[in-house]
Structure 1
Amino acid sequence: MGVVEGDEARERLTAAGLAYVCAHLDELQDLLTQTLPDPAPIGEAPVLARLQHALTARPVGAGSDPIQEPDLYGLLDELHDALQQAGDRAGVWGNVDPGQRGGPLMGVGREPFEPIYLCPIGECDGRDDVPVAVAPLTCALTGRNIEQDDL
């Protein structure tokens, strides 16, 4: 996607991109692992590993020194390029709608008091349509518990 003008637009895209990657982590990992050169670690796509490391190293609630914070948008952009090179034409950016904050909220349907699932480090848009199979729910990227709230 390249350069995005404005901090707010960049933050929206980053949040939407992280939500997409979190929801599709296994698929993305499989695709990237299949296309890595032989010397790559087994079962590990380097760009995804760097993104996960950047997120798990962040304190809950972030808000720390912006100079030392990793460039999550840059890592997502790198992941986008890697996915396209691996054959996923849409990559990350083709699968997110940066304007979604003006539309329906994630996890919000017509039922009152529907649960919503919040990013444990406050960086992504959260998850919708979470199949509850194991409790507590965990973020695929950080391994931290996903917070649940009601609207």
Structure 2
Amino acid sequence: MADLTSDDTRRTRDALAYACDHLEELREDLGDDPAGSALLDRLLSRIRGNGTIADVLDEIHAALQAAGDALGLYGRVPGHQGDRGIDLAGLGSGPLEIVYLCPIGRCSGHQTQAAGSPPRCGISGEELRRERL
């Protein structure tokens, strides 16, 4: 097993675990860009050679975002949604959340708790759609 003592943070370990479990998905997400594929190869090489990996993970994160993935690498790792400590609903390690959405999908309004039983749209009066995150 690789010695990750120089960058053995929970964030790094969790990101590496995600990257290893989803390596082919990440390759697809990075698209046809040879630089993206080279980043993943460099990560694998550093792991095998006991090298530091935090900087490569940061580069992979940035490359994913540049390829159009707003969450990047760290946004996919439960408990590490970005560097601001923001937990995205439904991605944490806690229980799934229920959200109530516009019944016709026209607005971005939502409720996380049912105000009434069942919650209804203030404009149409229709029952809000119940979704699990």
TM-score, structure 1 normalization: 0.44
Task: Compare relative contact order (CA 8 Å, sep 6+) and give the higher one, 1 or 2.
Answer: 1
